[in-house]
Amino acid sequence: MHQVYTGTQIREAEQPLLAAGAGPQLMHQAAWGLAQGVIELLHEHQLAVPGARITGLIGAGNNGGDGLWALSFLARRGAHITAICTAERVHPEGAAAFRAAGGRFLSGPETADYARAEVVIDAVLGTGARGAWEGHPVPEGALVVACDIPSGVSADTGQVSGQAITADLTVTFGGLKVGLFNGAGAAHSGNIKLVDIGLGPHLPAPELQLLSPTDIPELLPPAAPHAHKYTRGVLGVLAGSTKYPGAASLVCAGALATGVGMIRFLTQTEHAEPLTTLVLGAHPEVVPATDPTERVQAWLVGSGLSDSDHRVEQAKQVLTLTQQQQLPAVIDADGLKLIEPATTQPRVLTPHAGEAAALLNRLGAGSDDATQNQRVDRANVEADPLAAAQKLAELTGDVIVLKGPHTIICGPDAGPGQRFIYPGGHPFLATAGSGDTLAGIIAAVLTGWAEADAAPPLAAQAAAGVWLHGAASYAVAAGGPFGASQLAAGVRTVVAELL
């Protein structure tokens, strides 16, 4: 498990060390790690360090200081180092070390040299940045290494209000920052390398957690040796419609590959119908059901539902039932249009940005602050998905899985096991039906834990499902582009490797 902090939390953790006079030492550690990051990147690109043309973009504060010290370390390895100051002030000790190492500050016509840089170290703004940044051009083809956080990206939120640097690599100090993973920041950060500068004992509870493969086995329901299908868990599924028949099969495929005792599929009508035939054709083990009150341990409602009157009525009925029985439920897609907030029921909502915006508007999210009566749109959610997920979790009392390039999983409470980020599956995962499979996977995890004595927090269960879905995408993508119906095979591979 990796911990992710806001920039403000990292700054606060530095304070006791700065007060004890450890500032220069922290900066040297940070700069050393930054220089190592540059060297590794050069090697990855089959470029030699001796003679490499490396230019630092240097701001007024300690971020600039880190950049100057890193350049001086790189000069010792034979790199050709130059720097451009973007402000009138510059970190004095850093500048002295840079000059002593043979570094040259470019000014006036010399800045033309900048166009030949092979590597640019972005050390303009770090955690001390405030408001919008006007930006600075980067030579075409240069590799860009951001110092701590790409300049222009908020370390607290990932928001970019003016211009921002886009890095190939960000070397970040003391702790991973929310801004590297959330919203626009994720697209600017490139690969991320964490350098430990000894803040450990001073760090607070993290804002977010990133799951590692070793965290997953204990978050997936155990397969007990003497289990039978009912103890393992029965999942009720209300998914698919005449308009989106495939969703029902994809949901069932995701759930079966993750592992459930049984699936009861709520049919559209009492009579044999094409939707049920399709589901049973793909998964003969699924049991069709016409009565939603038959016993299940958890429900999945909404994937591919469409707005057909009959299917919507069925969904309303099942949602009420799950509330009365306090059953775990995953609510996906059109099911999200039907939920009412503030229940104590263990529920997981799985919106994408557009659905999250619609739900926030329906629940009146804009009405309690300066944005009064202003409608939330998809772009607002995409700019700060963590804030949107937190707001939704607060308004509904549910666990929110906000799907996107980086998926946020957010429970209604703060604290451990409540907030996670999954930094994206394989790009091929952006395909129709991928969300249906995800809903099935999460629902299977909830089903398996539904009657267990010591289950992980609901948000952690959902986060494990998101992780499984992402890992499955890499397993399947090894064989080339894929459609969602092939994802379940990847889920089985990943689960088999884990258990």
Residues of each annotated binding site: 247, 304, 352, 403-407, 435-436
14 binds, among K ion, ligand NPW, none (CB under 5 to 8 A by kind): ligand NPW
- Within 10 Å of residue 198's Cβ, how many Cβ atoms? 13
Among 119, 147, 429, 472, binds K ion (CB under 5 A): 147
Q: Which two tokens stand for residue 490?
A: 């990847």
- For the bound state, the minimum distance from the C-beta of residue 201 to ligand NPW, rounded and expressed in Å, comes to 16
Q: Within a 13 Å sphere around the CA of 62, how many CA atoms are in the beta-carbon half?
A: 17
Q: How many residues bind ligand NPW (CB under 6 A)?
A: 26
Q: Is 322 in the site for ligand NPW (CB under 6 A)?
A: no
Q: Is 125 in the site for ligand NPW (CB under 6 A)?
A: yes
Q: Is 360 in the site for ligand NPW (CB under 6 A)?
A: no
Nearer to ligand NPW, 51 or 198 (CB): 198
Phi and psi at residue 129, in whole multiples of 5°? -65, 145
Nearer to ligand NPW, 59 or 304 (CB): 59
Angle between helices 353-362 and 385-396 (to 10 degrees): 40
- For the bound state, the minimum distance from the C-beta of residue 398 to ligand NPW, rounded and expressed in Å, comes to 35
DSSP conformation class of 122: E
Nearer to ligand NPW, 31 or 339 (CB): 31
Q: Is 122 in the site for K ion (CB under 5 A)?
A: yes
Question: How far apart are the C-alpha atoms of 213 and 45, rounded to whole Å?
Answer: 28
Q: Is 445 in the site for K ion (CB under 5 A)?
A: no
122 binds, among ligand NPW, K ion, none (CB under 5 to 8 A by kind): K ion
Which residues in the 131-170 window bind ligand NPW by CB under 6 A?
A: 131-133, 147-148
Among 13, 26, 39, 195, binds ligand NPW (CB under 6 A): 26
DSSP conformation class of 167: -
Radius of gyration, alpha carbons of the chain: 26
β-strands 53-58, 119-123 pairing: parallel
* Three-state secondary-structure class, residue 402: strand
Cβ(26)–Cβ(163) below 8 Å: no
Q: Which two tokens stand for residue 91?
A: 């970190």
Alpha helices in 206-273 (DSSP H): 229-232, 246-258
Interface segment toward ligand NPW; rule CB under 6 A; list 70-78, 128-136, 342-350, 486-494: 128-136
Among 1, 18, 205, 478, binds ligand NPW (CB under 6 A): 18
Which residues in the 184-223 window bind ligand NPW by CB under 6 A?
A: 197
Nearer to K ion, 95 or 476 (CB): 95
81 binds, among K ion, ligand NPW, none (CB under 5 to 8 A by kind): none
Phi and psi at residue 332, in whole multiples of 5°? -125, 160
Q: Is 127 in the site for ligand NPW (CB under 6 A)?
A: yes
Which residues in the 54-83 window bind ligand NPW by CB under 6 A?
A: 59-64, 66
Nearer to K ion, 144 or 381 (CB): 144
Question: How far apart are the C-alpha atoms of 462 and 442, rounded to whole Å?
Answer: 6
β-strands 169-173, 176-177 pairing: unpaired
- What is the sign, positive or negative, of the torsion defined by CA atoms of 273, 335, 440, 457? negative
Question: How far apart are the C-alpha atoms of 5 and 199, rounded to whole Å?
Answer: 12
Question: How far apart are the C-alpha atoms of 424 and 429, rounded to whole Å?
Answer: 9
Nearer to K ion, 122 or 398 (CB): 122
For binding to K ion (CB under 5 A), which residues are involved?
Answer: 122, 146-147, 151
Positions that interact with ligand NPW (CB under 6 A): 14, 18, 23, 26-27, 30, 59-64, 66, 125-133, 147-148, 173, 197
